[in-house]
Amino acid sequence: MSIAFSDNVSAAAQRDILDLQKKISTFYSGQMTDEQFRKFRLARGVYGQRQPGVQMIRIKLPYGRITADQLIRIADVSDRYATGNLHATTRQDIQLHFVKLADSPLLWAELEDAGITLKEACGNTVRNVTGSARAGVDPEEPFDISPYAQAIFEYFLRNPICQEMGRKFKISVSSSEKDSAYGYMHDIGLIARVQNGERGFKVLLGGGLGAQPFAAQTVTEFIEEDRAIPFIEAVIRVFDRYGERTKRHKARMKYLLNDIGLDEFRNRIAEEWPALKNKTLAVDTTAPSSSDQYAPRPEVSGYQLETEDTQLKHWFRTNVFEQKQVGWYGVQLRVQVGDMSSDTARALAELVKTYAADDIRVTVNQGYLLRFVRPEDLPALYAGLDALGLATPGFDTTADITTCPGTDTCNLAISSSYGITRALETMMHAEFPDIIYNNDIKIKISGCMNGCGQHSVANIGFHGSSVKNGAAVMPALQVLLGGGFNGAGEGQIGDKVVKIPTKRGPDALRLLLQDYEANSFEGEYFNDYYGRQGKSYFYALLKPLADLKLVTANDFIDWDHTEQFTTEVGVGECAGVMIDLVATTLEEAAEKLTWAHEAQAGNRPADAIYHAYNVFITGAKAALMSRDVNTNTQHGIVADFDRTFVGEDGFHTLEGEFKALVFSINKQEPSEAFAADFIAKAEQFREAVLAYRERQIALEGMPQLQELVQAQDS
């Protein structure tokens, strides 16, 4: 099928689209392997879904900016090729689902006609550059970061240095020290600053989410604006040069930085500097923007909306703010789970044309921001939004939960994200109506550990999981606390606290909110309260919900479902790889070892000993899985390992030695001395299992890929 391109589609985009069409034909004819084709299409925004035979299309919107006509075009394309739904993501993209592979070139061509691209929206590339949604209208910003985010996007789009990296690379640009674009969880995060009258950025390096989240490190407190893009290029060159490629689950930049250290990373940046195309690169900030056509209106600054409508009062207080442009207002739209129908999107675009600037921003919490609204138009705009279901109060508050699509469409998801999100929001609306005024606590949910819903940087986070109870499996939630920002504005990574059946999620959130209300100090931020009380306090608070003795039939049915739960995890697409369950289990052992050390440091030897015991159990389980030995009880795991691995290099030499070691937990007082010895032996054991696994892979390759995952869009 030939594609008729309009004059609006660049030659580069036409080449990309025709190349995609050609590769699809090659793939269908059997001349291209699935793996080869996967890598190709991902870099063109075409991502395989959980459902066979259909694709998710990721539309790349730098810093979330979109015009009214572009929104209409996306809505029209969704009707024509997808389901008529527009899903806003935490990375300020819009995704369309259930698209036929053969239709993707035509869909892309229609979007390029409207100035929208799919290029490098997925795959091992520089992903969408995210930015503060309030950029340009933020009263607290030193300058508008929008042109800088746009320049970064343009500079690295189709740039040869970042087309075949070991893994994806994410960049954010924040308007102010509040870091509202979450730079601290990105490979590179820029935070706008002015120093001695000169524009520039604080630069954060090496953040990331996923199964092992890392908070970014500060590489420099200030870099001049014209050196920012060259610096990013040098970082990407280092990553491309030295980043892991064989062990793909360790291939993000956060691992490279962690391995070589910040000083060495700086040295390698300096080594790359002579090869840069540009040592400095000025960004054009003089181009006309939407704000240039709006003169200040001081006579209506501080406008107060007089109304007897309670809902309107709530909306004005939580969803509307005065911009830095005096007398103009921003309006924020709360969109549950980020989904908007095409009809709603077109109607919203007409409201924008009537009441706001032609500059909509998709927000990092899956909403939308309208700009330059006259205060006298707010009631009419509210009425129009309310008719569309887009005037719900509480934007970016505790009541406004961020979530990924979960098992609705994603291959990696373990349990339903949408269902638990709706359940939690319903509970809060009924029991905590004033929660729409709480901007301190942010709740984020992901369908699996990989973190597209950004659960690791939530004050209260959940990710989908599962738990066995007898022969059956039930959907579960891993509860994380203490991520996001504390009272000092510092970004933090959340702690894993406890895993509970997913149907008990509302009970868990209720307990957390009630406890915070009852016991926090006046004005105390949630993260500060969490830090004061400590992880053990919250574990004890929520532990009764993890008790499986009193499960009901309902616990085995996921939210939004009626059938009994089963785990059906597919193959992840972002990395183009599968990760075996052995590797994942060994990561669990590492996590338990960390807990053992933490308990030891906290003078809790009994807890430390038991964590170390679980290191032995988990490590032995991983080793047995690598031999395809089925595992069941902990005693059975120990006995089977003792028998199977006797004489194996690095392990015990006589049968019974391993069993005696592990079960010495029951023959010793939980003293500090025993804890120290037991932890040390557990650590040695885990290292021995890792060494064994590496030898096995070197000799046999991956014996069997299991059903777990690594790396997503986060």
What are 657-707's pLDDT values in tens digits? 998 998 887 778 889 998 999 999 999 999 999 999 888 888 876 544 433
Range of lowest pLDDT (39-53, 317-331, 687-701): 687-701
Give the pLDDT band of residue 33 (cuts 50, 70, 90).
confident
Domain architecture of the chain: domains with CATH? 11-112 (3.90.480.20), 137-275 (3.30.413.10), 290-387 (3.90.480.20), 402-556 (3.30.413.10), 581-700 (1.20.120)
Output 580 or 400, whichever has higher pLDDT. Answer: 400
Mean of pLDDT over the chain: 91
Please state the pTM of the whole predicted model: 0.79
In the predicted model, is pLDDT for residue 552 greater than 80?
Answer: yes
Q: What is the 3-state secondary structure (H, E, C) of 441-486?
A: CCEEEECCCCCCCCHHHCCEEEEEEEEEECCEEEEEEEEEECCEEC
In the predicted model, is pLDDT for residue 627 greater than 90?
Answer: no
Give the pLDDT band of residue 632 (cuts 50, 70, 90).
low
In the predicted model, is pLDDT for residue 713 greater than 80?
Answer: no
Give CA–CA dist 580/628, Å, rounded. 12
* R_g (Cα) of the chain, nearest Å: 26
Output 583 or 639, whichever has higher pLDDT. Answer: 639
The mean pLDDT of 99-113, rounded to a whole number, is 97
Q: Are 478 and 211 in contact (CB under 8 A)?
A: no
Residue where the block lists tokens 């030295």 = 242
Nearest to 621 by CA among 603, 609, 633, 604: 633
Nearest to 420 by CA among 440, 446, 458, 398: 446
The pLDDT score that the predictor gives to residue 312 is: 92
**Per-residue pLDDT tens digits for 250-267:** 889 999 999 999 999 999
In the predicted model, is pLDDT for residue 608 greater than 90?
Answer: no
Output 7 or 50, whichever has higher pLDDT. Answer: 7
Give CA–CA dist 442/603, Å, rounded. 32
Output 635 or 162, whichever has higher pLDDT. Answer: 162
The pLDDT score that the predictor gives to residue 237 is: 84
In the predicted model, is pLDDT for residue 579 greater than 60?
Answer: no
The pLDDT score that the predictor gives to residue 350 is: 98
**Per-residue pLDDT tens digits for 280-321:** 999 999 877 766 788 999 998 888 777 888 889 999 999 999
**Per-residue pLDDT tens digits for 456-502:** 999 999 999 999 888 889 999 999 999 999 989 999 999 999 999 99
Give CA–CA dist 317/328, Å, rounded. 15
Give the pLDDT band of residue 11 (cuts 50, 70, 90).
very high
**Per-residue pLDDT tens digits for 582-596:** 876 887 788 889 878
Give CA–CA dist 671/613, Å, rounded. 15
